[in-house]
Structure 1
């Protein structure tokens, strides 16, 4: 699990280098995503921030903050779940492969893993042969996590 202070420190450095600010509310939304350890919608984030920081952030503000954090590559939007998750590589200084997200359909826990660019290239070629163009390289897979499988057993 990511350390909140370390994540926020790296995120602030990242934003400073890019000439943008990581405001208090942006930090709160990012911290909430990291602490939740699962994908959250904007409305769930509103509730989570209220619980964690005793601050009301309107849903529209949360959406704007999420857009900012996504633009800065600090969070990922998961289209499959229509939720957001903190980037697992905020604290890394090296580059990674193409992100792939394993999403538990039951509890919304998300695991970000990397796959080789060659795999994406093969998928892209297969799509083109079928008459389609790959718009996004981000892959999201509907899964069940070990905890939910154990509970079902």
Structure 2
């Protein structure tokens, strides 16, 4: 069994515990998120399912599937990018506070963990400012190391000097 299959199986077990089902179409959409390594829109997932599985899933169905995956904590919606990523904690079976680093160049997404005490301190500051936290998920626009390196490398341009 490969890593992708193991994660899908864990997601399926997680759904059963919650009294829900990870149908074949839901598995296909989740597989698309897991394989991509970057944030995807519903329409990109429609294209993925058609290309990978030869199955056309209407965009509205993909949106409903994404809502389901979010409710089951199997996927996260990134508000900054208006796209979705698979939860990187599916195989872990532990509670976490999702935080995302999003490369503005290539759309690569990294889910990181931060200490709950940091979230508690932020929530305290929010409350003191007269607000109530609705969702403590953090999303940060970043540039990944690969894109940073690509921007720094000098172009291989050959110049001919006339003397």
TM exceeding 0.5: yes
Where 2:113 maps in the other structure, the secondary structure is strand
Structure 1's 57 and 100: CA in aligned 2 closer, same or farther, altered over 3 A?
same
Shift of 1:20: 1.0
Range with greater deviation from structure 2 (124-133 or 56-65)? 124-133
| Paired position in structure 1 for 2:119 | 120
CA deviation map 1:42-94 (0-9, x unaligned): 11111111111111111000000000010011001111111110000101133
Mapped pair 1:44 → 2:39: no
Unaligned runs of 5+ in 1: none
Mapped partners of 1:54, 1:106: distance in 2: 30
Mapped pair 1:22 → 2:15: no
Shift of 1:130: 2.0
Mapped partners of 2:93, 2:13: distance in 1: 12
| Paired position in structure 1 for 2:6 | 6
Where 1:152 maps in the other structure, the secondary structure is helix
CA deviation map 1:12-60 (0-9, x unaligned): 1111111111111000000000000111011111111111111111100
Q: Which one has a bigger Cα radius of gyration?
A: 2
CA deviation map 1:74-124 (0-9, x unaligned): 00111111111000010113333x211001111111100111111111111
Shift of 1:131: 2.1
Cα root mean square deviation, aligned:
1.2
TM-score normalised over the length of structure 1: 0.94
Unaligned runs of 5+ in 2: 153-163
Give the number of equivalent residue pairs: 151
